[in-house]
């Protein structure tokens, strides 16, 4: 009995001695750059599971062994190991981690270190997009992602870029565009995404993406992750604005005299003497066109009116022969058009709840010079809220709104069909200015007279979900999204009135009905004057 009591007494003394060796350590953890306190920082006694986290004020309290080392870690910060020694209260400062985001890649089933990936995945940092004055994400991805081809089908503002991964072609009628996902929700167009809202972009390029997302991902996936709430306690408000100008990168020039010579030589080679349709070129006309270029090439401006005798004439066979050459670039293309963007975001964290709200506006002017309106506007609004209900349950919800409004000249129902096609299908002697104050029928005149058409697209989505982590390496995600897209198109008809450049010229008479005569300078002269030509004009029609 005495031995048992003695043994219990010794055991209690050992336990008391062991307990007495532990000591209490307190402290505060701050951001070294901003001196702000950091809640939620993990403090672990190295080599053990003993530890704690900082409270909302960045303070902590933990019992440790006298000679132990503590490990302080926080997401986005560089971990630090500290040996407290005899100190009982510490002020710990953590530095922001500058580890490249490309080392961690977002994939269909979560995130992974790039070194551990087995599939073909490319990641894009938002810093790359920030350095480019772009109107949409698609244009920002041009030339920076291996295997991703981004083609802008036309120079129209608001046009969707054509994206292909590794140049796939499924069929002549089927599509080959990659699946577009924003926060794991499919979106119909990359145009609706505000570049300022993007946290990261991953491009899944191999067939493995189909095993996650199904048949829609047969040609790859573009995963867009948007910004979430702040990681630190407080509220952050940011604004960014940008103004840029766009211009055609490749200089466009019509053949003009060289093209006339080529056309004439081609016809003469096969025994012909006249080339062209509606406006024709002959050897006599070509020789006079060279004289016109030498005499008037530097003095006659693009918008100066067309004059009979100087700029064109009707030969003995009733054919319209053009002497003056026209460059469609001067009439159709507006240079250095502005693009303006404005972005406002508010993000923050309060306790275990984080939030992010953003507004974006894009105003882009088009390059079609004669149009009454040629512009593209985009409005974006995005709200995301998340909270940690328990250590193993996180709930999130959000909404997104995108409005795209494109206005352009509705000239596609005209007799010239596509104005850009006819600009370079026609010869350079086709007139594009005015005669006697009336517009001449041309792509420029029809675009100028066309009513303004509009294409409005409204996209709204509501989403919510939760993430459960029953164990450390097992996460269960649930997301629900309701999306709606509305199309509003307005195509008002237009009546085109101009002098008909496709028809034959008619005699030009004065108010009294007498024939007018003009010389080779386009001046009205008497019928008996040297070099006088009976004048012709084009018919005004609707």
Do 532 and 486 fall within a single domain? no
Do 353 and 478 fall within a single domain? yes
Do 90 and 107 fall within a single domain? no
CA distance 141 to 129: 8
Do 157 and 274 fall within a single domain? no
Residue 542: which H helix or E strand, with range?
none
Do 212 and 307 fall within a single domain? no
Do 416 and 310 fall within a single domain? no
Q: Please provide the size of the chain in residues.
A: 542
Do 480 and 509 fall within a single domain? no
Specify the higher pLDDT residue, 96 or 304.
304
What does the pLDDT look like over 354-399, one tens digit per residue? 999 999 999 999 988 999 999 999 999 999 999 999 989 999 999 9
Q: State whether residue 458 is helix, strand or coil.
A: strand
CA distance 485 to 362: 20
Domain final position from 76, 94, 112: 94
Kindly calculate the radius of gyration of the chain based on its CA atoms and give it in whole angstroms: 37
Do 59 and 29 fall within a single domain? yes
Do 289 and 198 fall within a single domain? no
Q: Is 68 a member of any domain?
A: yes
Nearest alpha-carbon partner for 102 in 93, 113, 116, 89: 113
CATH of the domain at 65: 2.60.40.1120
Q: Is 411 a member of any domain?
A: yes
CATH of the domain at 105: 2.170.130.10
**Phi-psi region for residue 89, left (φ > 0), alpha (ψ -120 to 50) or beta?**
beta
Q: Is 144 a member of any domain?
A: yes
What does the pLDDT look like over 28-46, one tens digit per residue? 999 887 788 888 888 988 8
Q: Is 351 a member of any domain?
A: yes
Do 109 and 85 fall within a single domain? no
Please tell me the total count of domains within the chain. 4
Domain final position from 94, 110, 145: 94
Domain containing 321 equals 257-325+505-541
Nearest alpha-carbon partner for 456 in 405, 380, 402, 381: 405
What does the pLDDT look like over 272-315, one tens digit per residue? 999 888 899 999 999 999 999 999 999 999 999 999 999 999 99
189 DSSP 8-state letter: -
Domain final position from 47, 79, 94: 94
Structure tokens at 203: 């491009």
Q: Is 234 a member of any domain?
A: no
Q: Is 277 a member of any domain?
A: yes
What does the pLDDT look like over 446-457, one tens digit per residue? 889 989 999 999
Specify the higher pLDDT residue, 458 or 171.
458
Do 482 and 339 fall within a single domain? yes
pTM: 0.71
Distance in Å from the first CA to the final CA of the chain: 124
Q: Is 38 a member of any domain?
A: yes
Q: Is 499 a member of any domain?
A: no
Structure tokens at 371: 């149009």
Do 423 and 529 fall within a single domain? no
User: What whole-number percentage of the chain has pLDDT above 90?
Assistant: 38
Q: In this predicted structure, what is the pLDDT of residue 109?
A: 52
């Amino acid at each position: 009995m005495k031995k048992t009591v003695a043994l219990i007494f010794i055991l209690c003394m050992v336990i008391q001695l062991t307990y007495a060796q532990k000591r209490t350590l307190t402290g505060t953890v701050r951001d070294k750059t901003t001196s702000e306190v950091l809640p939620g920082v993990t403090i672990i006694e190295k080599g053990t599971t003993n530890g704690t986290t900082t409270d909302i004020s960045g303070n902590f309290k933990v019992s440790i062994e006298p000679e132990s080392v503590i490990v302080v870690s926080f997401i986005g910060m560089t971990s630090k190991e500290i040996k407290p020694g005899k100190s009982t209260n510490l002020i710990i400062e953590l530095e922001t981690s500058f580890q490249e985001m490309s080392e961690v890649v977002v994939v269909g089933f979560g995130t992974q270190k790039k070194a551990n990936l087995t599939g073909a995945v490319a990641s894009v940092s938002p810093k790359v997009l920030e350095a480019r004055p772009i109107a949409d994400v698609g244009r920002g991805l041009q030339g920076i992602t291996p295997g991703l081809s981004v083609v802008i089908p036309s120079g129209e503002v608001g046009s969707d870029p054509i994206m292909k991964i590794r140049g796939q072609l499924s069929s002549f009628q089927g599509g080959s565009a990659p699946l577009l996902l924003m926060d794991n929700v499919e979106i119909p167009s990359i145009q609706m995404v505000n570049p300022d809202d993007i946290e990261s972009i991953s491009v899944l390029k191999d067939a493995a993406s189909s095993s996650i997302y199904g048949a829609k991902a047969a040609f790859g996936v573009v995963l867009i992750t948007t910004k979430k709430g702040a990681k630190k306690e407080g509220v952050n408000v940011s604004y960014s604005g940008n103004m840029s100008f766009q211009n055609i990168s490749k200089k466009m020039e019509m053949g003009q005299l060289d093209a006339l010579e080529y056309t004439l030589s081609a016809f003469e080679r096969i025994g012909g003497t006249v080339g062209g349709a509606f406006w024709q070129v002959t050897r006599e006309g070509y020789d006079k066109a060279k004289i016109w270029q030498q005499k008037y090439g530097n003095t006659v401006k693009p918008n100066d009116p067309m004059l009979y005798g100087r700029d064109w004439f009707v030969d003995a066979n009733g054919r319209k022969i053009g002497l003056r050459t026209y460059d469609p670039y001067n009439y159709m293309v507006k240079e250095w058009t502005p693009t303006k963007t404005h972005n406002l975001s508010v993000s923050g964290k309060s306790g275990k709840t984080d939030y992010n709200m953003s507004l974006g506006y894009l105003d882009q002017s088009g390059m079609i010079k004669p149009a009454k309106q040629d512009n593209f506007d985009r409005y974006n609004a995005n709200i995301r809220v998340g909270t940690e209900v328990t250590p193993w349950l996180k709930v999130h919800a959000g909404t997104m709104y995108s409005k795209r409004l494109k206005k352009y000249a509705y000239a596609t129902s005209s007799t010239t069909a596509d104005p850009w096609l006819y600009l370079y299908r026609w010869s350079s002697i086709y007139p594009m200015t005015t005669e006697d104050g009336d517009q001449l029928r041309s792509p420029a005149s029809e675009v100028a007279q066309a009513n303004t058409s509009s294409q409005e697209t409204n996209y709204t989505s509501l989403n919510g979900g939760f993430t459960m982590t029953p164990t450390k390496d097992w996460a269960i995600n649930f997301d629900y999204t309701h999306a709606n897209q509305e199309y509003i198109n307005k195509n008002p008809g237009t009546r085109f009135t101009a002098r008909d450049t496709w028809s034959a010229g008619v005699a030009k008479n004065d108010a009294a009905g007498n024939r007018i005569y003009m010389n080779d300078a386009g001046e009205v002269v008497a019928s008996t004057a040297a070099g006088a030509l009976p004048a012709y004009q084009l018919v005004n029609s609707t």
